[in-house]
Chain A
Amino acid sequence: KQEVTQIPAALSVPEGENLVLNCSFTDSAIYNLQWFRQDPGKGLTSLLLIQSSQREQTSGRLNASLDKSSGRSTLYIAASQPGDSATYLCAVGYGGSQGNLIFGKGTKLSVKP
């Protein structure tokens, strides 16, 4: 059974720091991996999507990498800002179906001014 783990559960950093969020999954037979952002009381916003054939994706200050063989993905945030404070969730597309996303429980990030 696919399981997705995110470490750490919470992270607090000063503004301007570069940081890395980690995601690991138990079954490497995935077809994609997504990183989402969730603000308190709101839904999820998709940040980056990496197909299984790709190694990384970049969007602005965000860079996500994927290593299927080791079952790991990282989300790198450069020059963090207080507006980056949110919960970041990793989700693995799994099982060959369009809808089967398995989510981690997220990393709650706090960027202090």
Chain B
Amino acid sequence: DAGVIQSPRHEVTEMGQEVTLRCKPISGHDYLFWYRQTMMRGLELLIYFNNNVPIDDSGMPEDRFSAKMPNASFSTLKIQPSEPRDSAVYFCASSRVSGANVLTFGAGSRLTVL
């Protein structure tokens, strides 16, 4: 398995632009998570899905952020409009329904908003 695949790896954009981050989880994993990592706040859970259904989005900062999972093999995290404070590394992770809760992380998408 190729692991959790994220794209793009790096994105530089200007304030006000729309940003879409993509994630392909490991096949057979029923849970998908989006995290954000910054120096100040560390790793924070934004939202997670179970069987393509959003379960907890309480970590989504505000209405500018939205996430979808149209099928078991694809998810997007969208920021519209983007702001400089959104600059961070965004990680996607997936796991099986096992109770063991071992997450496999993607390599991350580094977003810079100018």
Give the B-binding residues of A (Cβ under 8 A): 31-32, 34, 36, 41-46, 49, 51, 89, 91, 93, 97-101, 103-106
Contact = CB atoms under 8 A, between A and B. Distances in A.
Given A43-B91, A43-B107, A106-B42, A99 B33 contact: yes
Interface size class of B (residues with CB under 8 A): 20 to 34
22 contacts: A31-B101, A34-B101, A36-B105, A43-B4, A43-B91, A43-B93, A43-B105, A46-B104, A49-B101, A98-B31, A98-B95, A98-B97, A99-B31, A99-B33, A99-B45, A100-B45, A100-B56, A101-B103, A103-B42, A103-B43, A103-B44, A104-B42
B36 to A, nearest CB: 11
Given A97-B55, A97-B56, A43 B45 contact: no
Interface string B94-114: 010100111111111000000
Given A36-B105, A98-B101, A103-B42, 15 more contacts: A32-B100, A43-B93, A44-B93, A44-B103, A49-B100, A49-B101, A97-B56, A98-B48, A98-B97, A99-B33, A100-B56, A101-B101, A101-B103, A103-B44, A106-B42
